[in-house]
Amino acid sequence: MKKFLQILIPLVLFGVMIFESHYTLSAVFSRIELFSDNDLDALAKTINSDLIQRLDSAYDKLAIAGFSGSVLVARNGHVLFTRNTGFANYNTLQDINENSVFQLASASKQFTAMSVLLLSKEGKIDLDASVTHYIPELPYTNVTIRNLLNHTSGLPDYLGFLTRYWRDKGVNPTNEDVVGIMADKKIRLRFKPGSRFVYSNTGYVVLAAVVERISGLTFPQFAKKNIFEPLGMTHTFIHTTTVSVDSTTNNAMVSGHHGHNVISMTICDGPVGDKGVYSTVEDLYKWDQALEHYKLIPIQMQDAAFEAGHTNSGAEVPYGFGYRLRISPWGRLVYHNGLWGGFKSSFLRYVDTQTTVIALNNNNSRALHPLVEGLSKVVNEAQKDRVTEDIIFTLVKSNPETVSEKIQAILRTNASSQINEKKLRWAIDYLNITKKTQSAKNLVMLAYKLQGKDYNSDISIGMKN
């Protein structure tokens, strides 16, 4: 650090001629300049230029295996990397771009779960109540809303019985039609509710029907009004064979493919809740940040969505409310993948490293998961960089009254981590170039503090030796 200071201080003093010789650390913090989101994203890309190069290299190496779609990687609340590859439709050869809209398939389940939690927040749904409290005709008095959320209900896959019992081939079925078949045919459970975990698309179709019954809105209407519009997810919607979209939206929708052949919708595309949400990587990042900052539901309720469910015997299941859960090499991972109709999706939130990886794919190649794993490895293994970025962005973004306390908390939490001096230099250079001279000086002051030195009494430290 001493050598770093010897190089760093003269550089900054040269670039920031307004530096005064008598500032206390608290006085410097009281004059912090706040940045816009665009400024912060640009700063993130500047100080992470080597990481972005590694992400680029990993993408080029892994996407060549057949990936067609959009990717976004973010860390510490800043987008580091986006790429778009391939064709939205192999018949028209229209390129995929940042506005291309993909079917999320099973990654849609997180929005179904959030819809249920929003109604629970209002006291309209009891997670431990029987599903028959909300849909009385169903023959499943022992199945609770929590069972449906955690995939411990025992409901069989609706794709089989819908294909078998749906007779009106000229009309596409809805969620209510699925519920009607289950009630009329008394579809049997596969196992005693709560006794074990078996992934069930049917459970989330029923949950969407519960949302419709309680709210009086269609599920697409409810999600738009209560999730997509409030979060500014302007390119996100629920589309089924029973819901039409406008021409602008339709032009942005990419097609799912098997090889180079476009896959058409079937009667099984009618029900939603288990699938049916269409979105872009940019909109999903807005969703990620809404989760990060608890914009829709209280902290306690949202955190419960990221906790493992349990069977009746107390055994943990690897699923929360709309999310799969596991421990990755970099800590807790909250995620969901999707596969449907020529689409594949991955939405991954590495909670402990504050890293998000999103990938949307519109063909049946096997490239998506190796690509996501490769990008995750590159970005997560830069742990020292993450701590440094925490400090940098705290300095340029936080409220002046709390910034000193926040920095000390970061250092206490990561006591064994080192500061990436190269990234500090990049940040200071960027701040000077963009005329954020006070913020640049804040980083110099921090460097002194980390060295255990007093800036006020040692202004010339960088000039010595």
Summarize pLDDT for 427-456 with one digit per residue, the tens: 777 777 777 777 777 777 776 776 666 656
Question: Does residue 395 surpass a pLDDT of 80?
Answer: no
Supply the pLDDT for residue 251: 56
Q: Are 237 and 302 found together in one domain?
A: yes
In a domain, 210, yes or no: yes
In a domain, 388, yes or no: no
In a domain, 52, yes or no: no
Summarize pLDDT for 24-74 with one digit per residue, the tens: 444 444 445 666 777 777 777 777 788 889 999 999 999 988 899 999 999
What one-letter code names the amino acid at 223?
Answer: A
Summarize pLDDT for 129-172 with one digit per residue, the tens: 999 999 999 999 999 999 999 999 999 999 999 989 998 877 88
CA-closest candidate to residue 145, choices 342, 304, 376: 304
Catalytic residue of the set 68, 70, 106, 255: 106
End position of a domain, from candidates 338, 354, 380: 380
Q: Are 312 and 415 found together in one domain?
A: no
Q: Are 315 and 448 found together in one domain?
A: no
Up-side HSE of residue 196: CA atoms within 13 Å toward CB? 5
- Can you say how many angstroms the Cα of residue 60 is from the centroid of all Cα atoms in its chain? 23
Q: Are 371 and 441 found together in one domain?
A: no
pTM score > 0.85 for this model? no
Between 324 and 172, the higher pLDDT residue: 324
End position of a domain, from candidates 328, 354, 380: 380
- The domain in which residue 417 lies consists of 2-32+398-463
Q: Are 131 and 274 found together in one domain?
A: yes
Q: Are 254 and 154 found together in one domain?
A: yes
Residue 106 known to be catalytic: yes
CA distances from 444 to 394, 425, 449, 451 (A): 14, 9, 9, 11
In angstroms, rounded to a whole number, what is the distance separating the alpha carbons of residues 407 and 394? 7
Question: Does residue 267 surpass a pLDDT of 90?
Answer: no
Supply the pLDDT for residue 21: 31
Q: Are 271 and 371 found together in one domain?
A: yes
Question: Does residue 23 surpass a pLDDT of 50?
Answer: no
Question: Does residue 245 surpass a pLDDT of 90?
Answer: no
Q: Are 304 and 369 found together in one domain?
A: yes
267-272: average pLDDT: 88
pLDDT band at 400 (very low <50, low <70, confident <90, very high): low
* Stretch (H or E) spanning 214: helix 201-215
Q: Are 126 and 162 found together in one domain?
A: yes
As a three-state string, the secondary structure of 69-122 is EEEEEEECCEEEEEEEECEEECCCCEECCCCCEEECHHHHHHHHHHHHHHHHHC
Query: Which of 176-185, 249-258, 286-295, 426-435 is predicted with the least confidence, judged by mean pLDDT?
Result: 249-258
In a domain, 85, yes or no: no
Summarize pLDDT for 170-197 with one digit per residue, the tens: 788 999 999 999 999 999 999 999 999 9
Structure tokens at 127: 């997670």
In angstroms, rounded to a whole number, what is the distance separating the alpha carbons of residues 449 and 14? 21
Quote the percentage of the chain above a pLDDT of 70.
82
We report the CATH number of the domain holding residue 348 as 3.40.710.10
Q: Is 120 exposed, middle or buried (0-12, 13-18, 19+ CB in 10 A)?
A: middle
Summarize pLDDT for 82-104 with one digit per residue, the tens: 999 998 887 888 899 999 999 99
Supply the pLDDT for residue 250: 54
Q: Are 165 and 284 found together in one domain?
A: yes
Radius of gyration of the chain, Cα coordinates, nearest whole angstrom:
26
End position of a domain, from candidates 348, 380, 412: 380
In a domain, 329, yes or no: yes
3 state DSSP class of 316: strand
CB-CB contact of 115 with 218 (8 Å): no
Q: Please state, rounded to an integer, the average pLDDT across all residues of the chain.
A: 84
CB-CB contact of 107 with 345 (8 Å): yes
Question: Does residue 394 surpass a pLDDT of 90?
Answer: no
Q: Are 253 and 125 found together in one domain?
A: yes
Q: How many domains does the chain have?
A: 2
Up-side HSE of residue 448: CA atoms within 13 Å toward CB? 20
In a domain, 437, yes or no: yes
Q: What is the DSSP string of 319-336?
A: B-SS-EEEEETTEEEEEE
In a domain, 350, yes or no: yes
Q: Are 366 and 425 found together in one domain?
A: no
Supply the pLDDT for residue 401: 62
In a domain, 96, yes or no: no
Supply the pLDDT for residue 18: 31
Supply the pLDDT for residue 461: 34
CA-closest candidate to residue 178, choices 84, 269, 112, 309: 269
